[in-house]
Structure 1
Amino acid sequence: MIVTLIVAAEVSFWILLGLGLAARYLLRWRRTSTALLIGLPVVDLTLYALTVLDLRGGATASWTHALAASYAGFSIGYGPSLVRWADRHFQYRFAGGPKPLPSPKYGPERTRYEWQVAGRTVVSAAVTLSLITLLVPLSAGAAHFGTFAQWYLKLGLAAVINVIVAGCYSLWPKEAPAGVVVENGRVVTERTLADTAPARTPAERP
């Protein structure tokens, strides 16, 4: 049953997101759009509540219950940035908005971007693991703790790796290659060899 609920929650999430953006940019219904977008985390929290009810009803704990908890964690950690990403692309495609900028690749802007990603991952992992911990007493406690133990390792490792990557960019910022013009950490254009080569004097010309 949990797998079915997860699929239904995933489909509902994207439907609500699409309807929310369509209401905002195509129909100009901002209040309706806001209400629909607020419903996004509600979908994942409802999935978690149904997971709790499933375990309380005597269901055997499995990885699917932990996966359901991870949806709520993802929604809290990554949800706002995902909505902003979808908003920019929808506005560009259907409402004449500016073309979305790519993620910064170089300089301090890239470092800040990596720390933002690390922060979202840490928040997502912390929320997910907290929700999974709450499921343990509902699944016969320590008797089924092993069912969820691997999630502590995997999510904890993912958070640590993201923090290490961001730390590396702080210690060794990524600089743009020679000949690449960068603005706000993003590549604007690349100079050709003709642009960068020194001008020849009339005597040197054939």
Structure 2
Amino acid sequence: MIVTLVLAGEIGFWVVLVLALTARYLLRWRAVSSVLLLGLPLIDLAILVLTVLDLRRGTVATLAHGLAAAYVGFSVAYGHYLVGWADGHVRHRFAGGPKPAGAPRYGAARARHEWLMFARTTLAAGLTVALIAAMTWLTDAPDRTAALGGWYGPMGWVLAISLVIAGSYTLFPKKDPAGR
């Protein structure tokens, strides 16, 4: 059930985002678009609340319950970035806005970008771990929530991989072939 909830939340995120951007750029309903965009965090909150309620009613935690925490953690950390990315592309395609610049490809600018991604990933992993700890505490049944601890290692690996990527762009910056 929890995996279905997380999938529904992910699908809901993109559906609400598409509706918000459609309202903003195709229908010119800016107020409706803003209300829809404010609904995005409510999707995360619903996933979190329903997951905790599931655990509180006596369900033995599985890795899927941790997936809900990871989804919310990454959604909070990367959500604004994704909304900005989608907004820029839709504005360009349907409202005559400038073409989105995208991530820098070379040198110090790319390294800065990767360190910002590392910061977002650190926030996401930290939120995931904090949410898992909170779920364990809120259910007050460590014996039923032991499986949630299985998320600590993977979050460490995600963080380590992100650190290696950011570090590699700092230590070995990719050179612009055009020499700019």
TM-score clears 0.5: yes
Q: Which residue number corresponds to residue 163 of structure 1?
A: 163
Q: Which residue number corresponds to residue 37 of structure 1?
A: 37
Task: Give the number of the structure whose alpha-carbon radius of gyration is greater.
Answer: 1
Q: Which residue number corresponds to residue 97 of structure 2?
A: 97
Q: Which residue number corresponds to residue 73 of structure 1?
A: 73
Q: Distance in 2 between matches of 1:39 and 1:56?
A: 25
Q: Is the 8 A contact 2:89 2:99 kept in 1?
A: yes
Q: Any idea what the Cα deviations from partners look like across 1:36-77, whole Å, max 9, x if unmatched?
A: 112112101111100000011111111111111112101111
Q: Flag the structure with more relative contact order, 1 or 2, with Cα contacts below 8 A and sequence separation at least 6.
A: 2
Q: Is the 8 A contact 1:104 1:113 kept in 2?
A: yes
Q: Is the 8 A contact 2:62 2:145 kept in 1?
A: no
Bigger proportion of residues as helix: 2
In structure 1, runs of 5+ residues without a counterpart are 183-206
Q: Distance in 2 between matches of 1:58 and 1:128?
A: 22
Q: Which residue number corresponds to residue 195 of structure 1?
A: none
Q: Is the 8 A contact 2:3 2:67 kept in 1?
A: no
Q: Which residue number corresponds to residue 88 of structure 2?
A: 88
Q: Which residue number corresponds to residue 3 of structure 1?
A: 3
Between the two proteins, the alignment pairs up a number of residues equal to 179
Q: Any idea what the Cα deviations from partners look like across 1:152-179, whole Å, max 9, x if unmatched?
A: 11111211221232123223322223xx
Q: Distance in 1 between matches of 2:63 and 2:154?
A: 13
Percentage identity across paired residues of the two chains: 48
Bigger proportion of residues as strand: 1
Q: Distance in 2 between matches of 1:57 and 1:41?
A: 24
Q: Which runs of 4+ in 1 moved over 4 A?
A: none
Secondary structure in structure 2 of the residue aligned to 1:176: coil
Q: Distance in 1 between matches of 2:145 and 2:168?
A: 35
| TM-score (normalizing by structure 1) | 0.80
Secondary structure in structure 2 of the residue aligned to 1:175: coil
What code does the residue aligned with 1:31 have? Answer: A
| TM-score (normalizing by structure 2) | 0.91
Give 1:1-206 correspondences, 5 Å limit.
1-137=1-137, 138=139, 140-141=141-142, 143-177=143-177, 180-182=178-180
Q: Distance in 1 between matches of 2:121 and 2:60?
A: 29
Q: Is the 8 A contact 1:6 1:47 kept in 2?
A: yes
Q: Any idea what the Cα deviations from partners look like across 1:116-173, whole Å, max 9, x if unmatched?
A: 11111100110011001112232721x2454122211111121122123212322332
What code does the residue aligned with 2:85 have? Answer: W
Q: Distance in 1 between matches of 2:163 and 2:75?
A: 20
How far residue 34 of structure 1 moved from its aligned partner, in angstroms, is 1.3
Secondary structure in structure 1 of the residue aligned to 2:163: helix
Q: Distance in 2 between matches of 1:149 and 1:175?
A: 42
